[in-house]
């Protein structure tokens, strides 16, 4: 692995650490009692600083160190979750994210001087300018350890801890010196360095860790306090820990305390992920280790005064995670494309066999069904590889909320729901910009000022709820605020002034609400960093439509507004039903189909100009697909009607009238917009097994436009009593 690859890994880990930081701040916003989050944020920043130091990213190290110092002060407070300086640190972490991005991309590093000054002023008197005391480590062979045990022992329990770090231990920003300082707080400590495994310079491998350490602690503190300090190394070190060693025995001869260190695993095999020298990993900024000297015994370190917040509070939360691998998206995309071609080939084979063989139980037909089963399982597995939770993009919105509140003087908190909902990574990538626009608009136009909210009897801090869920084979992302709602009179006035609607036009509430998606539309009285430029919600709609999705809005004046995005789970493969209408073949997404019916023509009635059919005592509107798409007139209808009862994303239902069904199968989705622009009533196209092209119908748009819903969320089902 070359140095560039190691840097890529470092920046990927930075993204993970920043996500943990964002999660920590969000948790503290909703529950300040979760003080472990402060420690988790501190550890993440410390890891970023340590890794950056190994690569010589000076600006990144220096700014991360300033942020880390502030967090170190806060985490030792009596009530760290309510420290008012957390907001400043959160903003500093946002800037740190920009510094990391600029360092990664080789761009200009943002100016951090303003935040450095703010941090210095906020923590003046809490952070000493004097360097931290250093503990010197001298190399002592392990076989001389009994000499240390022969010293007169102070009162208390003796703990013998041997640690052999892997290089991953140092890459994560850790160091043995920190561990020794924390242990020294509990009692008297002596440290021995074992350099027996250090090779000659000619055979020295910079991608390996050779040193190990033996720490002898005499303390009256409970055993679990010692264990809490040691276990943060879990997974990155070979550790043995024993207590009350008998005189004359060497540390290596002592039994392991398996009950205390259960679950510790050797991190062998991770060394090849590093390229930096051992010296660079050990000599992290501000915390250098002493050079290795000939074997001598290190004098005991006197016990230090205990901090208000004990060191064991720094222990990380234990999470059970499955092993993961990082794969370049291009490789997955290629696999997806090959999978799509395989699906087409399988469909062609099925078409060929169906015309040659009528016996469904023939060996060839049985083999074909087995191939279909295997292809479906492979396809599901491949799509699962591309499926990612929306959590990363949701977490980034927390920063948008902070920045928007800072720019407007308003107060708001982001609440997440369904952030672990999975969707195709391409869809996730396309969500970031639309969500950014929506959340900025929610704060700038929706959330009231603290004074106005208090006057209305609301909490002065507004709430932006960002949620995601699976529904009818799609993902629905919702942004909902508890602000003032849309001012419909103002919307109509502005739309009239801009010539978007005619003066005196009669519009429904839904149509008025949808005016915000008109190009160039804005109700802002003055230009700000957030609004007033007429660019925003129309871009949201265009971006979502480019992903094959739709946008709907509903507002309750005085109580808030909700914007819903309906998106496909994947942009690659679709389960669909093949139908024929006027000798044309169409595909209806299977996720929209509730049931299929075959009825006589005289079962379809006309009520107020709308064809309907009775389905279990309910009259359902009928849409003639061939007539809708211009292939025959509205009066033309087959003697025997074939109906698909479908449901739109909004919950509306209708019956699509077609000539016949041709079964169901999987289809590779091919976009039309790149070559033809947007096509009404059609979401995409596909290639059939015969090589013929078929259009995939957009059920939501067909129902909304044919039945005049226009984003209305009310149901289309009409009872006989209602139409009587």
Q: What is the pLDDT of residue 207?
A: 66
pLDDT in tens, 471-525: 766 789 999 999 999 989 888 988 888 888 888 888 888 888 888 888 777 665 5
Token output for 95: 């800037």
Q: Which residue has the higher pLDDT, 371 or 117?
A: 117
- Residue 179 to residues 172, 183, 411, Cα–Cα distance (Å): 14, 6, 41
Mean pLDDT value of segment 195-205: 71
Q: Where are the domains of the chain?
A: 3-122, 142-314, 329-387, 390-568, 573-723
Condensed to tens digits (0 to 9), the pLDDT of residues 71-97 reads 999 988 888 888 889 889 999 999 999
Which token pair is 34? Answer: 């979760």
**Count of Cβ atoms closer than 10 Å to residue 637 Cβ:** 18
How confident is the model at residue 378, as a pLDDT?
76
pLDDT at 622: 92
Q: Residues 351-358: what's their mean pLDDT?
A: 63
275 or 612, greater pLDDT: 612
What is the token pair recorded at 353?
């066999």
- CATH pick for 3-122 out of 3.40.50.261, 3.30.1360.40, 1.10.3720.10, 1.20.120.160: 1.20.120.160
Lowest mean pLDDT among 91-95, 116-120, 372-376: 372-376
Higher pLDDT, 368 or 292: 368
CATH of domain 390-568: 3.30.565.10
What is the rounded CA–CA span in Å between residue 654 and residue 643? Answer: 9
Number of Cβ within 10 Å of residue 335's Cβ equals 15
Residue that the structure tokens 């798409």 belong to: 629
What does the alpha-carbon distance between residue 402 and residue 94 come to, in Å, rounded to a whole number?
A: 10
Q: Residue 328 has what pLDDT?
A: 67
- Highest CATH level, class, for 573-723: mainly beta
pLDDT score of 246 more than 60: no
The pLDDT score that the predictor gives to residue 294 is 42
The predicted-structure confidence for 297-313, as pLDDT tens digits, reads as follows: 444 444 444 444 443 43
- What pLDDT digit, counting tens, does each position of 576-609 carry? 899 999 889 999 988 788 999 988 888 888 888 8
Contact status, residue 668 vs residue 572, Cβ threshold 8 Å: yes
Instruction: Spell out where 405-559 has E strands.
Output: 412-417, 422-424, 462-471, 474-481, 550-556
| CA distance linking residue 191 with residue 181, whole number of Å | 11
End-to-end CA distance of the chain: 76
Confidence of residue 532 (pLDDT cuts 50, 70, 90): very low
Amino acid 341: pLDDT: 74
- The percentage of residues in the chain with a pLDDT greater than 90, rounded to a whole number, is 17
**Residue-level pLDDT at 296:** 41
What local confidence, expressed as pLDDT, does residue 304 receive?
Answer: 42
pLDDT tens per residue across span 631-667: 887 677 777 788 999 987 667 889 999 988 888 887 8
């Amino acid at each position: 692995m070359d140095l560039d690859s190691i840097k890529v890994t470092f920046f990927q880990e930075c993204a993970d650490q920043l996500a943990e930081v964002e999660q920590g701040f969000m948790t503290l916003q909703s529950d300040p009692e979760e003080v472990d989050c402060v420690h988790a944020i501190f550890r993440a920043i410390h890891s970023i600083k340590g890794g950056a130091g190994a690569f010589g990213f000076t600006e990144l190290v220096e700014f991360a160190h300033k942020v880390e110092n502030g967090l170190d002060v806060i985490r030792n407070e009596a009530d760290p979750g309510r420290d008012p300086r957390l907001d400043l640190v959160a903003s500093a972490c946002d800037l740190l994210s920009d510094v990391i991005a600029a360092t990664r991309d080789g761009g200009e590093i943002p100016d951090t001087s303003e935040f450095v000054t703010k941090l210095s002023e906020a923590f003046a008197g809490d952070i000493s300018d004097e360097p931290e005391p250093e503990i010197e480590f001298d190399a002592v062979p392990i076989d001389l350890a009994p000499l240390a045990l022969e010293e007169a022992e102070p009162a208390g329990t003796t703990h013998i801890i041997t640690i052999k770090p892997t290089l991953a231990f140092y890459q994560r920003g850790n160091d043995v010196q920190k561990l020794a300082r924390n242990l020294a707080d509990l009692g008297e400590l002596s440290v021995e360095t074992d350099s027996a495994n250090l090779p000659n310079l000619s055979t020295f491998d910079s991608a390996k860790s050779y040193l190990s350490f033996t720490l002898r602690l005499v303390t009256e503190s409970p055993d679990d306090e010692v264990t809490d300090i040691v276990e943060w190394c879990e997974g990155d070190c070979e550790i043995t820990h024993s207590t009350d060693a008998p005189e004359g025995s060497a540390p290596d001869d002592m039994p392991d305390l398996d009950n205390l260190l259960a679950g510790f695993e050797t991190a062998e095999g991770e060394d090849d992920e590093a390229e930096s020298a051992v010296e660079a990993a050990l000599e992290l900024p501000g915390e250098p280790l002493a050079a290795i000297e000939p074997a001598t015994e290190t004098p005991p370190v006197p016990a230090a005064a205990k901090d208000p917040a004990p060191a064991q509070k720094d222990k990380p939360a234990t999470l059970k995670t499955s092993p993961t691998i990082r794969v370049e998206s291009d490789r997955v995309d290629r696999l997806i494309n090959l999978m799509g071609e395989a699906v087409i080939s399988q469909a062609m084979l099925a078409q060929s066999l169906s015309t040659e063989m009528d016996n469904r139980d023939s060996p060839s037909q049985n083999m074909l069904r087995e191939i279909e089963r295997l292809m479906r399982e492979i396809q599901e597995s491949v799509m699962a590889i591309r499926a990612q939770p929306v959590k990363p993009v949701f977490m980034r919105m927390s920063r948008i909320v902070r920045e928007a509140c800072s720019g407007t003087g308003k107060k708001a908190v982001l609440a997440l729901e369904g952030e672990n909902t999975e969707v195709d990574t391409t869809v996730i990538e396309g969500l970031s910009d639309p969500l950014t626009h929506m959340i900025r608009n929610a704060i700038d136009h929706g959330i009231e000022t603290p004074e106005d909210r208090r006057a209305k009897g609301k909490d002065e801090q507004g709430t932006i709820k960002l949620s995601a869920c699976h529904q009818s084979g799609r993902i629905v992302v919702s942004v909902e605020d508890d602000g003032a709602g849309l001012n419909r009179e103002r919307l109509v006035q502005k739309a009239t002034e801009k010539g978007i609607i005619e003066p005196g036009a009669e519009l429904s509430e839904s149509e008025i609400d949808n005016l915000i998606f008109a190009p160039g539309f804005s109700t802002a009285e003055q230009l700000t960093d957030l609004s007033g430029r007429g660019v925003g919600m129309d871009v949201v709609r265009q971006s979502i439509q480019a992903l094959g999705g739709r946008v709907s809005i509903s507002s309750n004046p005085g109580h808030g507004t909700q914007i819903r995005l309906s998106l496909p789970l994947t942009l690659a493969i679709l389960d669909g039903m093949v139908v024929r209408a006027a000798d044309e073949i169409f595909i209806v997404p299977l996720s929209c189909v509730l049931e299929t019916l075959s009825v006589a023509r005289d079962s379809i009635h006309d009520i107020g100009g709308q064809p309907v059919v009775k389905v279990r005592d309910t009259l359902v509107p009928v849409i003639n697909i061939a007539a809708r798409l211009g292939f025959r007139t509205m009066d033309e209808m087959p003697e025997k009607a074939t109906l698909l009862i479908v449901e739109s994303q909004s919950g509306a239902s209708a019956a699509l009238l077609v000539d016949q069904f041709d079964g169901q199968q999987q289809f590779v989705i091919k976009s039309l917009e790149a070559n033809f622009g947007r096509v009404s009533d059609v979401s995409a196209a596909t290639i059939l097994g015969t090589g013929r092209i078929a259009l995939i119908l957009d059920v939501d748009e067909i129902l909304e436009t044919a039945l005049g819903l226009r984003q209305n969320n009310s149901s289309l089902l009409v009872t006989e009593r209602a139409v009587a």
